[in-house]
Structure 1
Amino acid sequence: MSTLVQISIKPKQQEDLPYILELGLTKAKLYKKDIKDWRIRKRSIDARRAPVKLNLQLEFWLVGEEIKHIPPFVPQAVEESKTIAIIGAGPAGLYAALRAIEVGLKPIIYERGKDVRERRRDLARINKEHLVDSDSNYCFGEGGAGTYSDGKLYTRSKKRGNVLKAIEWFVHFGADKEILIDAHPHIGTNKLPKIITSMREAIIDAGGEVHFNAKLTNLKLENKRISSIEINNAQWHSYDTVILATGHSARDIFYLLHNHKIKIEAKPFAIGVRVEHQQELIDTIQYHGDSDNPYLPPASYGLVEQVDGLGVYSFCMCPGGIIAPCATEQEEVVTNGWSPSKRNNPYANSGIVVSVAPEDLPNYVEGDPFVCLNFQKKVERDCWEAAGKTQAVPAQRLIDFVEGRISVNFPKTSYQPGIVSVDLNNVLPPLISKRLKKAFKAFGRKMKGYYSNEAVLHAPESRTSSPVSIPRNPETLEHVEISGLYPCGEGAGYAGGIISAAIDGINCVDAVAKKKGY
């Protein structure tokens, strides 16, 4: 049993390992001769008050204690093993495949989009030519939405599964070891493609398969059991096990299931705007004026407020980041944010969204699985029309929005396709806009300087999570009505980010292995 202690240091002391060791030994009432080894286990920034500190958790192994080094990933050769189909190569699908080759199953991934290298060309077309490929974009393609949405690796829920295992796999496939100790680990969009490629190569080397430009277009059931799937409206493949990890934006999958009378349900989700400030301002606010401290990373923030019975909160905050166009169809606009590994862009952006349940919506019909999806689609299309029917988005300065004025000009924005001055009060549903206005005032009181007309709102931020859930048995993780069908990850309503989706992929394969006796 190792010994854990907590210490606090100044940011400039974080590289002084002898000092950290001495401080930790003193706190633990130990001497150097007492310990066999030690490490920094967790690191977090404490910016609640000046001066800013770093909180460290240190782990000591005493002389005589065994230090176990368990390999994070142990594949098996699975070329001749039983097969399972995995639909989608996002975090849930990739981790499901990796876990499959650990337990001895052969995963066959079908991904509607392209590999990470080819996918970049389609992202460039969205930014430069305003052309959206409905199967290859910021949401669809190898790595899923996670590849090009920052690479944040934390989850609020520890009950989902083994968070450390999921993060260790990222390190195994090329991520920096620092993510193992940071309280809010982050990889960076610039580094994720290489890591995702390494994961794919490991799956193939073990005997699994990964197929790109391979879209699920139909399925067959026999006596309430999955029996086969159709790919690209052409090829049928027999499977008795299908992990459905298609992501939160695969609307065609929801319609496919519904047409087969496979139960789906409307679920709560969130919708709002993406706000962009200068990173220097956020640093000044969060670090109490110490924004030039070279030992501190670009600052983030988290905000939440209850407004008229609904929660309004920050989502996917990206320090030193960029706002990206994340539509999956031509006649809609969607925003999201991401950061490179160094988080060294001059802007800070975050979704500010209103949490809504199906019954909160003006188009609510009891039992309609698409009530939230239809609301989401209407907001995205209304914004597309308001901004001129391109991938430019409607935008407004923050105080102008709250006070109902059209902005006459804008500071520079990171959103490459461009912005169009619009009064968002006339575009966003009143359910959303009225609560956002009250929330921004409240956020300004919590973060002095945040409520600024130098901040620009980009609309909409609408893909926070799936507006539809695919119900499953909590014990077997199979669909509540269909044997062999495993709804998985964000698209099914069981995850809310890279790590929780990855863990859900692992959990689904563990459920398959248990059923098959592996």
Structure 2
Amino acid sequence: MQQEIELAISPDHIYNEDFIIQQGVKKLKISRDTVKGIYIRKRSIDARSRQVLYRIRVVFYINEEPQIETFSSALKPVADAKPVIIIGAGPAGLFAAYRCIERGLKPILLERGKAVRDRRRDLAKINREGLVNPESNYCYGEGGAGTYSDGKLYTRSNKRGDVHKVLSIFVENGADEDILIDARPHIGTNKLPHIIEGMRNRILEMGGEVHFDTKVIDIVEQFGQVKAVKTADGKTFDAEHVIVATGHSARDIYELFRNKDWLLEAKPFALGVRIEHPQEIIDQAQYHCSSRHENLPPAYYSLVEQVNDRGVFSFCMCPGGIIAPCATDFDEIVVNGWSPSKRNNPHANSGTVIQINLEDVPDAATNPFALLDFQRQIERQAFQLGGGNLVAPAQRMVDFVENRVSRNLPENSYKPGTKSVDLKEVLPDFVHRALRGALPIFGKKMKGYYTNEAILVGVESRTSSPVRIPRDKDTLQHPQINGLYPCAEGAGYAGGIVSAAIDGINCVDAIKI
């Protein structure tokens, strides 16, 4: 017999299986001898009271041997199967390729950037020299933007598809099994490249194709039916099904659609700054202690407040993390954040943003590029104020709220460097005012948050795509083009690694074979 119960366990005993069994035996009112094993199904941290606890859901195997849950993708050889072209090898593209193989289709992945490990040299130049390779950066390349900007797997996309399957495929390719049970699963930038390589090798073993440094410059259609794609190196790939999974920063794909007079529409996105604190401030606030217990991970937070009828919210919080330069061109500043698997850096950072709606930008209701142009203008202004070489404009938190240029800036994790400026010169007035109103309120919600030890670094602008590529809600195809499947973040239908992966799977499932 199996029985699943919830237990509250102190950090002192969270890794002590005997103690957990003892607590379960008491709750179930059974003999210890009847318990043949346990399996922890879910694990989360409850820091609502002064005593921080782990809450775990545990399956007890009573008078029966434990059954080890396993997962194995049902992949089959597809070298001679019907081809599906997938533009982009981020999470949507990789998981779409996996699903193609499961369905007996041959995926042909076309990635404008480099293989995951080859990207590192270009990222090093970005961080050390402020030099951006427009085809290989934090956004472009195998694994997509999430590979070198954290690998957070937290999602609310359970209704969109099988989250457990996505996580299991990561585990199958080398991720820690803890991602299957943690409430906020996280892989870490240092571990993701190996996992992404494992997925690519499986795709190749089954007969799929993966082409790097292969930028798509045209999608060929005849009489409303996709026929092929053309790449910058002069190649043509024929297929009647094309999945466009290019991510939120591939602006040239939107230009391609515009030049062909294919439907596009402006889409709201969020804009703000990345805020960084010393991690110990966040730990003390969230865990109600002077120092964090060794069995507790660096603390995270999630904050939201309404100011001037605007929602201000934290986004992509990175405990023990680093602020990264995520521009895709040489004349713009874009920041994001990431953490290694151990989250052991001395700082914690989070995007803190406000949604930009269509009514905030002139002509956005009729011009699909209005919000994208608005986004680009702010990124370029940030670059100019930083003075070049990806130096980012920044301000201490209290100074920002009190409209005072910081005399100096605290030590921070943004490697290209920061410059003290008045962020009012970067941010739109309504964004600036909403942030100024929200930060002191956040400080009342979380002790220690509102401090001049925190730095605001601009700009956090690539939270999602400012353009949507429409698709039919049933077939997932573009309304004008049969066989063309706008997919995931770049098309406006996902927001993170797991939701993008699910959307890639869903697009393949929509293909009729």
Aligned to 2:52: 52
The reply to whether residue 268 of structure 1 matches residue 268 of structure 2 is yes
C-alpha distance after superposition, 1:449-471 (max 9, x if no partner): 10001101100000111111111
Q: TM-score, normalised by structure 1?
A: 0.96
Q: Secondary structure of the equivalent of 1:144?
A: coil
Q: Secondary structure of the equivalent of 2:510?
A: helix
In the alignment, the residues of structure 2 paired with residue 62 and residue 265 of structure 1 have an alpha-carbon distance, to the nearest angstrom, of 57
Aligned to 1:280: 280
In the alignment, the residues of structure 1 paired with residue 134 and residue 206 of structure 2 have an alpha-carbon distance, to the nearest angstrom, of 31
2:108 aligned partner, one-letter code: I
Q: Secondary structure of the equivalent of 1:145?
A: coil
In the alignment, the residues of structure 1 paired with residue 482 and residue 67 of structure 2 have an alpha-carbon distance, to the nearest angstrom, of 43
C-alpha distance after superposition, 1:12-58 (max 9, x if no partner): 10111011122123323444555554300000000112110110011
Aligned to 1:414: 413
Aligned to 2:237: 237
Q: Secondary structure of the equivalent of 1:40?
A: strand
Q: 1:348 to 1:463 in 2, by over 3 A?
A: same
In the alignment, the residues of structure 2 paired with residue 29 and residue 264 of structure 1 have an alpha-carbon distance, to the nearest angstrom, of 61
- Deviation for aligned residue 1:74: 2.1
In the alignment, the residues of structure 1 paired with residue 390 and residue 483 of structure 2 have an alpha-carbon distance, to the nearest angstrom, of 40
- Deviation for aligned residue 1:67: 4.5
C-alpha distance after superposition, 1:93-123 (max 9, x if no partner): 0011111111211100000000011111111
- Deviation for aligned residue 1:223: 1.4
Aligned to 2:471: 472
Aligned to 1:329: 329
- Deviation for aligned residue 1:163: 0.6
CA RMSD of aligned residues (A): 1.5
Aligned to 1:433: 432
Q: 1:119 to 1:39 in 2, by over 3 A?
A: same
In the alignment, the residues of structure 2 paired with residue 403 and residue 391 of structure 1 have an alpha-carbon distance, to the nearest angstrom, of 26
1:447 aligned partner, one-letter code: M
Kindly indicate whether the alpha-carbon contact (under 8 Å) linking 2:266 and 2:364 is maintained by their aligned counterparts in 1.
no
The reply to whether residue 483 of structure 1 matches residue 485 of structure 2 is no
What does 1:141-152 correspond to in 2, within 5 Å?
Answer: 141-152=141-152
The reply to whether residue 156 of structure 1 matches residue 146 of structure 2 is no
**Unaligned ranges ≥5, structure 1:** none
Q: Secondary structure of the equivalent of 1:394?
A: strand
Kindly indicate whether the alpha-carbon contact (under 8 Å) linking 2:266 and 2:365 is maintained by their aligned counterparts in 1.
no
Q: Secondary structure of the equivalent of 2:436?
A: helix
1:349 aligned partner, one-letter code: N
- Deviation for aligned residue 1:442: 1.1
What does 1:75-90 correspond to in 2, within 5 Å?
Answer: 75-90=75-90
Kindly indicate whether the alpha-carbon contact (under 8 Å) linking 2:71 and 2:168 is maintained by their aligned counterparts in 1.
no
2:348 aligned partner, one-letter code: A
In the alignment, the residues of structure 1 paired with residue 68 and residue 394 of structure 2 have an alpha-carbon distance, to the nearest angstrom, of 54
Q: 1:292 to 1:35 in 2, by over 3 A?
A: closer
C-alpha distance after superposition, 1:242-286 (max 9, x if no partner): 011000101110111121111111111100000110001110111
Q: 1:63 to 1:262 in 2, by over 3 A?
A: farther
1:186 aligned partner, one-letter code: H
Kindly indicate whether the alpha-carbon contact (under 8 Å) linking 2:323 and 2:337 is maintained by their aligned counterparts in 1.
yes
Q: Secondary structure of the equivalent of 1:482?
A: coil
Kindly indicate whether the alpha-carbon contact (under 8 Å) linking 1:217 and 1:233 is maintained by their aligned counterparts in 2.
no
Q: 1:168 to 1:83 in 2, by over 3 A?
A: same
Q: 1:411 to 1:70 in 2, by over 3 A?
A: closer
Q: Percent identity?
A: 55
Kindly indicate whether the alpha-carbon contact (under 8 Å) linking 1:265 and 1:468 is maintained by their aligned counterparts in 2.
yes
Q: Secondary structure of the equivalent of 2:71?
A: coil
2:225 aligned partner, one-letter code: R
Q: 1:494 to 1:62 in 2, by over 3 A?
A: farther
Q: Secondary structure of the equivalent of 1:351?
A: strand
Kindly indicate whether the alpha-carbon contact (under 8 Å) linking 2:347 and 2:413 is maintained by their aligned counterparts in 1.
yes
Q: TM-score, normalised by structure 2?
A: 0.97
- Deviation for aligned residue 1:480: 2.0
